[in-house]
Amino acid sequence: MPAFHAHVEVTHLPGIADPAGATVERALPALGYKNVAQVHIGKTIRLVVDAPDAESAREQVQEMCERLLANPVIEAYQVVIS
Amino acid sequence: MPAFHAHVEVTHLPGIADPAGATVERALPALGYKNVAQVHIGKTIRLVVDAPDAESAREQVQEMCERLLANPVIEAYQVVIS
C-alpha cells in the first residue's frame, strides 16, 4: 500500500480561550514588537499513513483526529494529505 | 501599514526526542490504526503583524521565533507570510 504524508493542524475553536496565545501576545510588546495582534497557538501533527488511496488516508486521519489527536469539543482540525 | 498574516510551524530538530509524538505513535495501534508511522508533534503559531512589506514582516517574525516563539537549540521553525 502506498504511504501518504498527513499534516494536521489543530487549533482552538472560535470563542475557546487560548491562554498560550494570550501570553505570547502580552510578551511580544515587552520585547519591542508592538505591531503584533491576533496571536493563536495550536498543535501540528505530521505522520505517515499507509492507505490504498489519498481519500482513504484522509478519512482515516480525520477519524484519528476525532478519536485521539484533537478534542472536537474545543478544537478544530485541518488535514492535508500529500 | 499593511497587516500580514504569519503562520509559523515549530518542530523538533532531527535527533531531538519528541515524547508527545512517540506517545501518539504507541497509542494509535491500540485504537486499530496499525498503518501509521513517523508521528511528529509540533507547535503552530498564527499572528498578524503590521509591516511595510512582506519581506520586513518575515524578518520580524523570524526574529520573534529566535527570541520567544521557538527554542533554536532544539527546535526548527518555518515562517509563511500571506
Give the pLDDT confidence score for residue B1 in this predicted structure: 87
The whole model's pTM is what? 0.91
How far is B82 from B77, CA to CA, in rounded Å? 16
The mean per-residue pLDDT over the stretch B60-74 comes to 97
- Contact criterion met (CB < 8 Å) for B50 and A39: no
Interface check B82 vs A, CB under 8 A:
no
Task: Tell me what the pLDDT averaged over chain A comes to.
Answer: 97
Residue A3, pLDDT above cutoff 90? yes
Residue A44 dihedral angles phi and psi, to the nearest 5°: -125, 135
Give the pLDDT confidence score for residue A55 in this predicted structure: 97
Domain count, chain B: 1
**Domain containing A69 — which CATH number?**
3.30.1280.10
Judging contacts by C-beta atoms under 8 Å, the chain B residues touching residue A33 are 49, 60, 64
Give the pLDDT confidence score for residue A48 in this predicted structure: 98
Task: Tell me what the pLDDT averaged over chain B comes to.
Answer: 97
Of A3, A28, A38, the CB nearest to B64: A28
Q: What is the DSSP secondary structure assignment for residue B66, as one 8-state letter? A: I
Give the pLDDT confidence score for residue B33 in this predicted structure: 96
Give the pLDDT confidence score for residue B13 in this predicted structure: 97
ipTM (interface pTM): 0.90
- Contact criterion met (CB < 8 Å) for A37 and B28: no
Alpha-helix runs per DSSP H in chain B: 19-30, 54-64
Give the pLDDT confidence score for residue A1 in this predicted structure: 87
**3-state SS assignment for residue A51:** coil
By residue range, what is the domain housing residue B63? 3-81
Judging contacts by C-beta atoms under 8 Å, the chain A residues touching residue B50 are 35-36
- Contact criterion met (CB < 8 Å) for B28 and A64: yes
Q: Confidence band (pLDDT; 50, 70, 90) for B46?
A: very high
DSSP H or E stretch at residue A24: helix A19-30
- B47 in Cβ contact with B82 (< 8 Å): no
The mean per-residue pLDDT over the stretch B36-63 comes to 97
Residue A35, pLDDT above cutoff 90? yes
Distances in Å between the Cα of A70 and the Cα atoms of A31, A44, A63, B16, B55 are: 32, 10, 10, 24, 34
Helix, strand counts (H, E) of chain B: 2, 3
